[in-house]
């Protein structure tokens, strides 16, 4: 099966972005309604406490397996790879046991006036995570064999089932029992997602497609019969997996550090957690429907083109066109992501209050909410750059470099948690966002240093993508000044005028950016066409 990695990566990212935009628009409308029905305390329980449990289990159970098993898929012995992937299930069960005990026994329980269904909510997360890990091998096969549309369709099924079940139950109970509705929606969506995976591959395997290594459904299940363990798994992948597992613990602390601090140290009450989470979700829209799909596709792309254990200078001598292409794509992604982050930073200052007003009503648009969202727009810029630099580093570092990076992450995690606790104690929710900005800054410096050293004494410097053009910067500065003046003059009584001014400046800024970056998009299109042909 001849694969076109760039074409698939671009298609994957494009479809995921379109999917995310469509569903974020849908969920934006639904959430705007739900926020007016559900108490902020219950939002804090579901969106912080329970979703933190889910993200902790899933990240620690599967992220390392995905990164390791999607490396150099062309040369996989799939029987050994499938055996290795299924080890994620007992790992997930063990993590569920530890996390379940912590969430039910160690952490403070919500007051009965908030919810009586907290224990059921925890168990629903534990069960759903184990079910989801039972189709992890199918997810990795779908990624490796470029079933892009399948993954999009399954994401649609997941979101649609979750949204329908949750919204229907909220309406039926008139905004009560939100934790119970969340729990049923969680279980229903995961079961539908998992069953859909198995139904598709049952049908596809029956077609006996040429060059597809799986001939029966049993091939997707582990096979350890009559062999030593060392002969049943791919040992180089095991070493790589171990490196990612160690890195995963630290990365999870860095990713959700503020949630761990507010959960374990009670620096914010449940209603304050609810406000923080709403603002965080609104401010993270760009990260979820733009950055995350791009990073996922970019990691797969870089992991196929750049060899981990071969020095980059040697790879340039062996195949300079391949490395030139990878560098060009990296530079382009850095330029696009950083530009999006700058736009979010500049326009978010004058439109944070309006966004919260539209999203959750006047109660959310007063108090600390607008300030949190304004600062979160600054964090988006750091997040945009960190996502690409870190995904390239993770996709190309050799085992020794990964281990060294893991040690640096340990130190960074401890410092970050301390700063989060200190800042949140002094500044509340604002402290979490400032701590995140510090965290992303250090991670960008780490990965940027790795990229600079890798391409030292070569003709390549992909970090040039972080330098914006002068006209674009000038337009952004003008937009900040005009929109802040517009908010002060028109927000209270002429919101439509304020919106029209912002839209006009946004279109002008975007047009100038597209004009200045036309060469960047032409280069990417040229590379895409050459691969497609």
DSSP H helices, 35-107, are: 40-44, 51-58, 64-69, 78-86, 88-101
What does the alpha-carbon distance between residue 193 and residue 158 come to, in Å, rounded to a whole number? 5
* Cα dihedral: 10, 13, 17, 20 (round 10): 150
What does the alpha-carbon distance between residue 503 and residue 345 come to, in Å, rounded to a whole number? 15
| DSSP, residue by residue, 197-243 | HHHHHHHHHHT--TT-S--SGGGGS---TTS-HHHHS-HHHHHHHHH
pLDDT at residue 408, rounded to an integer:
86
To the nearest 10 degrees (0 to 180), the angle between helices 369-396 and 270-283 is 60
DSSP 462: G
Residue environment code for 266-289, b if the CB has 16+ CB neighbours within 10 A, otherwise e: ebbebebbbbbbbbbbbbbbbbeb
What does the alpha-carbon distance between residue 284 and residue 254 come to, in Å, rounded to a whole number? 16
pLDDT at residue 1, rounded to an integer:
42
pLDDT at residue 7, rounded to an integer:
61
**Contact yes or no for 221/83 (Cβ under 8 A):** no
Q: For each of the chain's 533 residues, which pLDDT tens digit applies?
A: 444 555 666 566 566 666 666 666 666 677 677 777 788 788 889 988 999 999 999 999 999 998 888 877 777 888 888 999 999 999 999 999 999 999 999 998 898 888 899 999 999 999 999 999 999 999 999 988 878 778 778 888 888 899 889 989 988 888 789 999 999 999 999 999 999 999 999 999 998 888 888 989 999 998 877 566 666 777 888 888 888 887 777 778 777 888 888 888 888 888 788 888 888 877 777 666 678 778 887 888 888 888 888 888 888 888 878 888 888 889 989 998 999 999 999 999 999 999 888 877 777 788 788 999 999 999 999 999 999 999 999 888 888 888 888 888 888 888 888 998 999 888 888 998 999 899 899 999 999 999 999 888 888 889 988 988 889 999 999 999 999 999 999 998 899 999 999 999 999 999 999 888 887 777 666 655 655 45
To the nearest 10 degrees (0 to 180), the angle between helices 136-144 and 148-172 is 140
In SS3 terms, 325-359 reads as: HHHHHHHHHHHHHHHHHHHHHHHHHHHHHHHHHHH
pLDDT at residue 2, rounded to an integer:
41
- What's this model's pTM, rounded to 2 decimal places? 0.72
């Amino acid at each position: 099966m001849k694969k076109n990695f760039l074409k698939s990566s671009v298609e994957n990212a494009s479809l995921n972005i379109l999917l995310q935009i469509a569903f974020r628009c849908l969920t934006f409308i639904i959430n705007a309604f739900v926020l007016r029905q559900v108490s902020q305390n219950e939002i804090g329980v579901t969106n912080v406490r329970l979703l933190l449990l889910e993200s902790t289990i899933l990240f620690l159970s599967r992220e390392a397996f995905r990164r390791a098993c999607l490396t150099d898929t062309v040369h996989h012995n799939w029987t050994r790879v499938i055996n290795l992937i299924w080890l994620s299930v007992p790992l997930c069960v063990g993590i569920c046991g530890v996390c379940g005990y912590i969430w039910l026994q160690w952490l403070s329980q919500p007051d009965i006036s908030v919810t009586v269904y907290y224990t059921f909510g925890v168990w629903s997360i534990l069960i759903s995570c184990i079910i989801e890990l039972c189709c992890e091998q199918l997810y990795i096969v779908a990624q490796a064999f470029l079933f892009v549309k399948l993954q999009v369709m399954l994401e649609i099924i997941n979101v649609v089932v979750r949204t329908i079940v949750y919204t229907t139950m909220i309406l039926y109970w008139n905004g009560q029992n939100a934790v119970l509705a969340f729990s049923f929606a969680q279980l229903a969506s995961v079961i539908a997602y998992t069953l859909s995976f198995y139904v598709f591959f049952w049908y596809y395997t029956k077609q006996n497609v040429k060059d597809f290594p799986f001939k029966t459904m049993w091939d997707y299940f582990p096979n350890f019969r009559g062999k030593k363990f060392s002969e049943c798994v791919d040992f180089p992948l095991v070493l790589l997996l171990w490196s990612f597992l160690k890195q995963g613990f630290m990365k999870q602390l860095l990713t959700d550090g503020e949630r761990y601090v507010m959960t374990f140290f009670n620096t914010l009450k449940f209603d304050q957690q609810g406000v923080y989470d709403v603002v965080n979700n609104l401010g993270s829209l760009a990260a979820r429907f733009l950055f995350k799909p791009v990073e996922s596709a970019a990691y797969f792309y870089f992991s196929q083109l750049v060899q981990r254990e071969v020095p980059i200078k040697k790879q340039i001598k062996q195949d300079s066109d391949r490395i030139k292409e990878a560098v060009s794509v990296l530079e382009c992604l850095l330029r696009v992501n950083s530009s999006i982050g700058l736009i979010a930073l500049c326009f978010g200052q004058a439109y944070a209050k309006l966004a919260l007003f539209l999203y959750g009503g006047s109660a959310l648009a007063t108090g600390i909410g607008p300030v949190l969202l304004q600062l979160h727009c600054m964090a988006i810029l750091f997040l945009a750059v960190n996502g690409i630099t870190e995904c390239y580093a993770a996709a190309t570092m050799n085992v020794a470099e990964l281990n060294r990076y893991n040690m640096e992450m340990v130190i960074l995690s401890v410092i970050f948690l301390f700063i989060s606790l200190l800042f949140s104690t002094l500044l509340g929710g604002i402290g979490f966002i400032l701590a995140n900005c510090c965290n992303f800054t250090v991670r960008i410096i780490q990965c940027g240093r790795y990229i600079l050293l890798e391409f030292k004494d070569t003709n390549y410097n992909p970090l040039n993508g972080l330098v914006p053009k002068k006209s674009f910067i000038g337009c952004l500065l003008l937009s900040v000044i005009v929109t802040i003046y517009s908010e002060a003059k028109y927000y209270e009584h002429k919101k439509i005028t304020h919106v029209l001014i912002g839209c006009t400046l946004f279109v002008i800024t975007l047009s100038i950016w597209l004009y200045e970056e036309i060469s960047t998009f032409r280069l990417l299109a040229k590379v895409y066409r050459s691969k497609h042909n």
